[in-house]
């Protein structure tokens, strides 16, 4: 009996079909590695979110700013949450309506605020100094323009960190938002500005149990109700960032939007009874599991009893996985030259490093992974790469960003979503 379990993981059928199609079409003759999405998966998620959470669902552009994927989001009834001026411009370019753009950024400059306030998107204010700048700009607007605005304060509920401290945005010392400890000043701000019709919070997604998120929401809801009693229901928009952790351990989506919504409905019914417009800002929850990266294996070798396969995906695309090993472990599947899945159960398993293309030793997309023997003609598929990978692309070693395809499960055709980065673009960046 083989006690070792292969870490070349089984995966959803569309992925098998998609890689097969790519090989068949000769995609890898020109491209050493690519991204593959299944947009039907995304559409299903967007639908589930929209059906379970009334109000406005927005997607976090930071997790996936690719133009054609933003357009896909619009087609599926989502708005855009933007965390920088660059993301705001991207969202406009994609065609999101200003009323469905939420501008959250911890570092909005005066010029950026002037632009956004003139545009009329929803703006969530990060701190009192920013509020001061905003108050000044708005006081120069007509009464009509002022009345048309919807802004919120980002409240930091100052709760505990989740499993991932790096992503815990609602802790007492978080750089984001206005700490709950400033209750009086918060109330005074709402009192002073009738265009402050929203409230915003975001404590993080990955590494949080739903319960923690809901507790933070409850805490802020208490404050909002107090303010609304004083100020005649001035706050009519409740904006919740994040909240849904993604399962990187298997192909299963868990928890689901439905489960999250049910928790909210149960614990914070005010969000569903017409008192508020509920705005959500999911990102990873929509995109992570819809996309994979597939790379050719360029070379293989053995060194010090370690099998090594060198691939084109590493710290260029997967910054967190490479720089913060072993926290962001990504599952992989090995396919042979014809696109057949290799599970290795029959063949013997080897402790293998899948080495990325970058010039430092820790650039390993998988370290000491138990895999079937990887050969030079094989392909490596890396799962759950649909969010936060291409959006944080690093130029190190001037590696080119890959093309992105959608695998259309109905027509079984590949559709180009984005061309790969060109050498000219890369050289321009440094020139």
Among 373, 394, 408, 409, binds other proteins (CB under 8 A): 394
Look at residues 407, 394, 400 and name the one whose alpha carbon lies nearest to residue 421: 400
Q: Site for other proteins (CB under 8 A): which residue of 37, 96, 176, 257?
A: 176
Give yes or no for a contact between 287 and 63, defined as CB atoms under 8 angstroms apart.
Answer: yes
Taking CB under 8 A as the rule, does residue 298 contact other proteins? yes
Residue among 188 and 392 whose Cβ is closer to other proteins: 392
> Contact letters (x/-) for other proteins, 62-91, by CB under 8 A?
x--xxx---------------xxxxx-xx-
Phi and psi at 429, nearest 5°, equal -60, -35
The one catalytic residue in 63, 290, 359, 385 is: 359
Nearest approach in angstroms of CB 164 to other proteins is 9
Nearest-angstrom CA–CA distance, 72 and 70 = 5
- State which residue, 92 or 343, has the beta carbon closest to other proteins: 92
Element (H, E) at 334: strand 332-335
If one asks whether residue 398 binds other proteins (CB under 8 A), the answer comes out as yes
Residue 27's nearest CA partner among 300, 393, 402, 288 is 402
Asked whether position 154 contacts other proteins by CB under 8 A, the answer is no
Residue 328 CB, nearest distance to other proteins (Å)? 10
- Bridge-partner residues for 102, per DSSP? 81, 122
Using CB under 8 A, which of 233, 247, 377, 425 touches other proteins?
425
Confirm if 189 and 128 have CB atoms less than 8 A apart: yes
- Report d(CA 375, CA 422) in Å as an integer: 28
Among residues 301, 345, 348, 416, the one that binds other proteins under rule CB under 8 A: 301
Distance from C-alpha of 227 to C-alpha of 48, rounded to nearest angstrom: 32
Name the helix (H) or strand (E) containing 188: helix 183-192
For strands 291-303 and 306-311, give the pairing. antiparallel
User: Is position 26 an interface residue for other proteins (rule: CB under 8 A)?
Assistant: no
Q: CB 215 → other proteins: shortest distance, Å?
A: 18
Please indicate whether residue 359 is annotated as part of the active site: yes
Interface with other proteins includes 412 (CB under 8 A)?
A: no
Total site size for other proteins, rule CB under 8 A: 88
Binding to other proteins (CB under 8 A): which residues in 305-364? Answer: 305-306, 308, 310-312, 319-320, 323-324, 353, 355, 357, 359-364
Q: Kindly state whether residue 127 participates in binding other proteins, applying the rule CB under 8 A.
A: yes
| Binds other proteins (CB under 8 A): choice among 44, 396, 408, 409 | 396
25 touches other proteins (CB under 8 A)? no
Q: Is 411 in the site for other proteins (CB under 8 A)?
A: no
CA separation for the pair 313, 295 (Å, rounded): 7
What whole-number distance in Å separates Cα of residue 163 and Cα of residue 409? 36
What gap in Å lies between CA 246 and CA 248, rounded to an integer?
A: 6
As annotated, the active-site residues are 359
């Amino acid at each position: 009996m083989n006690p070792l379990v292969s870490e070349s993981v089984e995966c959803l059928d569309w992925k098998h079909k998609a890689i097969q199609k790519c090989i068949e079409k000769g995609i890898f003759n020109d491209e050493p590695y690519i991204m593959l999405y299944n947009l039907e998966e995304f559409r299903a998620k967007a639908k589930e979110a929209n059906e379970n959470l009334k109000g406005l669902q927005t997607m976090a552009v930071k997790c996936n700013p690719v133009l054609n994927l933003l357009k896909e989001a619009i087609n599926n009834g989502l708005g855009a949450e933007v965390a920088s001026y660059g993301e705001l411009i991207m969202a406009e370019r994609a065609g999101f309506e200003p009323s469905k753009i939420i501008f959250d950024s911890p570092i909005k400059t005066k010029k950026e605020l002037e632009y956004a306030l003139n545009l009329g998107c929803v703006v969530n204010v990060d701190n009192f100094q920013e509020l001061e700048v905003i108050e000044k700009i708005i006081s120069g607007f007509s009464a009509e323009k002022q009345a048309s605005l919807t802004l919120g304060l980002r409240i930091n509920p100052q709760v505990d960190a989740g499993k991932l401290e790096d992503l815990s945005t609602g802790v007492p010392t978080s750089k984001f938002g206005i700490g709950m400890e400033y209750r009086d000043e918060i109330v005074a701000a709402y009192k002073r500005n009738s265009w402050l019709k929203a409230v915003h919070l975001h404590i993080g997604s990955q590494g949080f149990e739903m319960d923690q998120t809901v507790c933070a929401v409850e805490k802020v809801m208490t404050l909002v109700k107090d303010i609304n009693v004083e100020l005649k229901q001035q706050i009519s928009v409740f904006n919740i960032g994040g909240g849904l952790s993604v399962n990187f351990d298997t192909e299963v989506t868990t928890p689901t939007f439905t489960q999250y919504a049910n928790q909210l409905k149960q614990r914070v019914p005010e969000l569903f009874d017409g008192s508020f417009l509920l705005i959500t800002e999911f990102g990873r929850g929509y995109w992570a599991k819809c996309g994979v990266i597939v790379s050719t294996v360029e070379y293989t070798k053995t060194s010090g009893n370690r099998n090594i396969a060198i691939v084109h995906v590493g710290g260029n695309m997967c910054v967190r996985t490479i720089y913060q090993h072993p926290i962001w472990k990504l599952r992989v599947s090995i396919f042979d030259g014809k696109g057949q899945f290799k599970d290795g159960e029959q063949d013997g398993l080897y402790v293998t490093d899948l080495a990325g293309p970058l010039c430092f030793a820790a650039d390993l997309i998988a370290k000491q992974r138990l895999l079937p023997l990887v050969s030079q003609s094989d392909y490596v598929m890396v799962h759950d790469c649909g969010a936060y990978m291409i959006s944080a692309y690093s130029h190190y070693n001037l590696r080119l960003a890959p093309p992105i395809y959608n695998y259309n499960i109905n027509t079984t055709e590949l559709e180009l979503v984005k061309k790969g980065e060109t050498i000219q673009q890369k050289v321009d960046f440094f020139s």
